[in-house]
Amino acid sequence: MNFDYTEEQQMVRDSIARFVQDDYDWDTRRAIVDSDEGMSRQNWQTFAELGWLSIPFSEADGGFGGSIVDMSVVMEEMGKGLVVEPFFPTVVLFGGVVARAGDEAQRAEILESVIGGETLGAFAYVERQSRFAINDCKMTATANGDGYTLNGEKVVVFNGENADKLAVLARTSGGQFDEDGLSLFLVDANAEGVSKVCYPMMDAQRVANITFDNVQLGAGALLGPEGGALPVVNDVVSEALIALASEAVGIMGTLNAKTLEYTKTREQFGVAIGSFQALQHRMVDTMMAYEQAKSLLFKALCEYKIDRASAEATIHALKVLIDRNGKLIYGEAIQMHGGMGITDELDIGHYAKRLMMINATLGDGTFHRSKFIESTYAAA
Amino acid sequence: MDIALSAEDLAFRDEVRNFLDTEFDAEMQAHLKSRGSKGMVEWQQKLYAKGWVAPNWPVEHGGTGWTATQKYIWESERSLRGIPDVVPFGLVMVANVIMAFGTDEQKEYFLPRILKSEDWWCQGYSEPGSGSDLASLKTKAERDGDDYIINGAKIWTTYAQHADWIFCLVRTDNSGKKQEGITFILVDMKSEGIKVNPIIGIDNEHNLNEVEFNSVRVPAKNVVGEVGKGWTVAKALLAHERTGIAGVADIKRNMRLLKEAAASEVNGGQRLMDDPGFQQRMADIEVELMALEFTELRTLAAMAAGGFPGPESSLLKIKGTELQQATQELRMEIAAYYQGVLPTDMDPEVLGHEFGSEARRAFMYGRAATIYGGSNEVQKNIISKYVLGLE
């Protein structure tokens, strides 16, 4: 038994931490968030040069061939720095779909440019009515000669504003809720018939509602088997949930550290507020909440490395705990910072908002608690 | 033990319902949304015209003379319709201080203006270094002839950008205990040397401010109560601030909105309202809310019998704000991905969602409720000290 990170993983961790410390201070980040694109292309190139964008992809695809643990390390550090550049939508979601579903030609075409930092991607899977049920898909792809015609709309597409390429989930057969009949397509964001409405989210993500109006696709746009996309999507989602949990753990640790520091320095009634036992016990609660989340993340990582299916229940449990403990931690962080905690100026609220969006992504705690019950007790 | 309303109270309730349904019409609602503070003044002046703008004032000063039960009915009916309460700084806070401690001249000048919403008031209590430990405040007022010269800064000042007047706690004496030497004073916001610096909140809105005082000259006749007795004045006001704060009717309205939203939200074809996991979340809040309503009624009954809201009223603030935040949080969850939408003015048809951004704004703003008016930690200190006798 060993829960240590390898030397290589430690190096990646250090290199991201150094980037955050040297090149991503709070004012710099704020300027990036307020800029036209809401991200820094220059930073993105740095990520490519330092090899971070290659981490999950196989060596055959030109990647680093990293494991889920490598990915987790990157996401945790990005969480600590509250990095807004679209690593999660481009590398984890879009890259994950292409790497898993794409054939050799598609992988060669797309992944190399993702790894090189030339292509930004997005995975379009949410619809107005779908909430967290990914199989709830109204968007259609109709066979048309050798290719397909896409019609429909996807909403809250992460990185939808800046993405060059989209992986789009559409229905090639079956009814709205059928698990069969879903297919994935690679679509150029500038293709004729694609239009979008962009808006920012509270966690500084730039998202878009994207409408597909008779978008004509060639046969080469189909990613993976026609009608059989859901298993691939579920795999990507599992990995994405671990990635998000890792980011959340990074954020939770940072919020606790900042709040602890504040309670040691903020004086009221002539003493540091951290000297009050009532607050001390609450700081202990948030510390325990963080450690418990981290432990469950380790369990998910260990299981996932062996076998994806065996990690399923743990991944649901992890999302439940991240939701619950995340709320405790950001709630206490804001509360203990008092008036300062409710300003836009202080970073605390921004960490909180990212945690909230993580909770709302790919199923919240209530959703995954039901999934956990299904996958754990239904078999008993 | 009897909860039934008397025939008089039922008739009063009908009158209130009729008034609100008639006067809080679509036009008024639109004004409140689009005209900000001016819309609010318009609504308060409508209430003034009806004679209902100051339920907590005695009749002699233009109040309603309502019984505690009538005030409760008014509050419930208003909240259930989503009608905002009057801005409290003038009509509730400073007015009560002036009535209790003010000179005849102060009463004659300020009270009618407050009643007619001619002046917009804000509150100058907290300072950058003085939050929960309010008595440590440092903003200094030095006597100079018939005036005081004020230097210092106040923070978290809600609506200072609209304000004509600010009521402040200032330090006039440094020699004794920190609670001594504090004075309650009224300052014209147009005075030379006042600077208002906006603070953007966690909800991305501008409601809060820092107010700087750079040698601001204020007539000594603007002191309310005795010089050096401002702490006593402030404590009376804080007790007042705590009584109305449970907001049971507001939370009930939030619950109704939650149920409506959960009934139209679907997941995999199943209504969220039918999801046992979600039902349990709703039930957890509702059970506490049912209890809080009767805790509030118990306090109300004590007041109706001539009692004064004591330290027990702290309980209402703690539980009320916790439940308020719980309903705001659940509304966010119903919105799922849309809870993060930042723009407040997007067309729901284009966005694909009705209330995500509003839920976010309310949730984020709501985080302040457990901090202002004496944080919930301070409330617990008050209960443990004065109710439980723990020192």
DSSP-derived secondary structure letter, A309: G
Among A151-155, A353-357, B368-372, the minimum mean pLDDT is found in B368-372
Give the domain ranges of chain B.
7-86, 121-229, 247-387
Q: Are residues A90 and A183 in the same domain?
A: no
Whether A155 and B281 lie within 8 Å, measured CB to CB: no
**Minimum-distance CB partner of B156 among A199, A209, A339:** A339
- Category of B52 on φ-ψ map: left (φ > 0), alpha (ψ -120 to 50) or beta: alpha
Average pLDDT over residues A335-343: 94
Strand B165-171 and strand B121-124: pairing? parallel
Average pLDDT over residues B223-247: 78
Q: What is the pLDDT of residue B317?
A: 86
Whether A201 and B267 lie within 8 Å, measured CB to CB: no
- The verdict on residue A140 lying in a domain is yes
Which of these three, A202, A228, A254, is where a domain ends? A228
Q: Are residues A17 and A44 in the same domain?
A: yes
Q: Report the candidate in B291, B303, B279 with the shortest Cα–Cα distance to residue B252.
A: B291
Mutate to test the interface with A, among B130, B202, B332 (most CBs of A within 10 A): B202
Q: In the structure, what pLDDT confidence band is assigned to residue B240 with cuts at 50, 70 and 90?
A: low
Q: What is the pLDDT of residue B162?
A: 94
Q: Are residues A369 and A243 in the same domain?
A: yes
Whether B281 and A366 lie within 8 Å, measured CB to CB: yes
Across the strands, what pairs with A343? B201
In terms of residue numbers, what domain contains A268?
A: 231-377
Q: Are residues A358 and A312 in the same domain?
A: yes
Whole-angstrom distance, CA of residue B90 vs CA of residue B162: 12
Chain B residue nearest residue A127, CA to CA = B352
CA distance B51 to chain A (A): 36
CA distances from A77 to A330, B106, B143, B157 (A): 18, 60, 56, 37
CA distances from A342 to A327, A336, B199 (A): 15, 10, 10
Which helix (H) or strand (E) segment is B315 a member of?
Answer: helix B313-335
Average pLDDT over residues B77-87: 90
Q: Are residues A364 and A303 in the same domain?
A: yes
Q: What is the pLDDT of residue B201?
A: 96
Q: Are residues A244 and A206 in the same domain?
A: no
Whether A339 and B131 lie within 8 Å, measured CB to CB: yes
Residue B241 designated active-site: yes
pLDDT digits (tens, 9 = 90+) for B25-76: 888 888 888 888 889 999 999 999 999 999 989 999 999 988 888 888 998 8
Q: Report the candidate in B206, B237, B232, B259 with the shortest Cα–Cα distance to residue B96.
A: B237
Max CA pair span of chain B? 76
CA distance B85 to chain A (A): 22
The contacts of residue B137 (CB under 8 Å, 6+ apart) are B125, B127, B130, B169, B170, B171, B182
Chain A residue nearest residue B201, CA to CA = A343
Chain B residues with CB under 8 Å of A129 CB are 266
Cβ proximity of B127 and B135 under 8 Å: no
Q: Are residues A368 and A238 in the same domain?
A: yes
The CA-CA-CA angle for residues B166, B199, B92, to 5°, reads 35
Q: Report the candidate in A148, A155, A137 with the shortest Cα–Cα distance to residue A215.
A: A148
Amino acid at position A240, single letter: A
- The verdict on residue A189 lying in a domain is yes
pLDDT at B244 over 60: no
CATH of the domain at A134: 2.40.110.10
Which of these three, A185, A206, A228, is where a domain ends? A228
Strand A121-124 and strand A165-171: pairing? parallel
Q: What is the pLDDT of residue B238?
A: 66
pLDDT digits (tens, 9 = 90+) for A42-83: 999 999 999 999 999 999 999 999 999 999 999 999 999 999
Whole-angstrom distance, CA of residue A59 vs CA of residue A251: 30
The contacts of residue A102 (CB under 8 Å, 6+ apart) are A110, A111, A186, A223, A224
Strand B140-144 and strand B147-155: pairing? antiparallel
**Minimum-distance CB partner of B340 among A128, A327, A360:** A360
Which of these three, A65, A97, A119, is where a domain ends? A119
Mutate to test the interface with B, among A30, A195, A201, A277 (most CBs of B within 10 A): A201
Whole-angstrom distance, CA of residue A106 vs CA of residue A121: 14
pLDDT digits (tens, 9 = 90+) for A95-149: 999 999 999 999 999 999 999 999 999 999 999 999 999 999 999 999 999 999 9
Mutate to test the interface with A, among B377, B379, B384 (most CBs of A within 10 A): B377
Q: What is the pLDDT of residue B247?
A: 83
Cβ proximity of B200 and B216 under 8 Å: no
Considering the candidates B77, B127, B210, B241, report the single residue annotated as catalytic: B241
What ipTM was estimated for this complex? 0.94
Whole-angstrom distance, CA of residue B4 vs CA of residue A86: 59
Q: Are residues A214 and A245 in the same domain?
A: no
User: What is the number of alpha carbons within 13 Å of residue A229 lying toward its C-beta?
Assistant: 30
CATH class of the region B247-387: mainly alpha
Total number of domains constituting chain A: 3
Whole-angstrom distance, CA of residue B199 vs CA of residue A250: 28
Whole-angstrom distance, CA of residue B319 vs CA of residue B370: 10
Whether B342 and A199 lie within 8 Å, measured CB to CB: yes
Beta strand extents in B6-97 (DSSP E only): none
Determine phi and psi for A4, rounding to 5 degrees.
-85, 155
Question: Number of CB pairs < 8 Å for A and B?
Answer: 140
Whether A156 and B338 lie within 8 Å, measured CB to CB: yes
Any idea which residue has 């309650």 for tokens?
A: B184
Q: What is the pLDDT of residue B239?
A: 61
User: What is the number of alpha carbons within 13 Å of residue B66 lying toward its C-beta?
Assistant: 22
Count other C-beta atoms under 10 Å from residue B171's C-beta: 22
**CA atoms A66, A71, A72, A78: torsion sign:** positive
Q: Are residues A173 and A254 in the same domain?
A: no
Q: What is the pLDDT of residue A378?
A: 78
Q: Are residues A364 and A249 in the same domain?
A: yes
Chain A residues with CB under 8 Å of B364 CB are 202, 342, 349, 353
- Category of A258 on φ-ψ map: left (φ > 0), alpha (ψ -120 to 50) or beta: alpha
Whether B201 and A199 lie within 8 Å, measured CB to CB: no
pLDDT digits (tens, 9 = 90+) for A226-270: 999 999 999 999 999 999 999 999 999 999 999 999 999 999 989
CATH homologous superfamily, domain B121-229: Butyryl-CoA Dehydrogenase, subunit A, domain 2 (2.40.110.10)
pLDDT at B313 over 70: no
Chain A residues with CB under 8 Å of B137 CB are none
Q: Are residues A207 and A255 in the same domain?
A: no
Q: What is the pLDDT of residue B378?
A: 86
Q: What is the mean pLDDT of chain B?
A: 91
Chain A residue nearest residue B368, CA to CA = A342
Whole-angstrom distance, CA of residue B93 vs CA of residue B88: 6
CATH of the domain at A52: 1.10.540.10
DSSP H helices, chain A, are 7-23, 26-34, 41-49, 68-81, 87, 95-101, 104-115, 230-265, 277-306, 312-336, 338-341, 347-360, 365-377
Chain A residue nearest residue B374, CA to CA = A338
Mutate to test the interface with B, among A342, A351, A354, A361 (most CBs of B within 10 A): A342
- The verdict on residue A2 lying in a domain is no
**Minimum-distance CB partner of A344 among B126, B204, B329:** B204
Average pLDDT over residues A151-169: 98
- The verdict on residue A49 lying in a domain is yes
- The verdict on residue A201 lying in a domain is yes
CA distance B269 to chain A (A): 8
- The verdict on residue A1 lying in a domain is no
Q: What is the pLDDT of residue A110?
A: 97
- Could you tell me the two tokens for B198? 């906006």
Q: Are residues A259 and A331 in the same domain?
A: yes
Chain A residue nearest residue B361, CA to CA = A202
Q: What is the pLDDT of residue B197?
A: 97
Amino acid at position A212, single letter: F
Q: What is the pLDDT of residue B302?
A: 78
Across the strands, what pairs with A143? A148
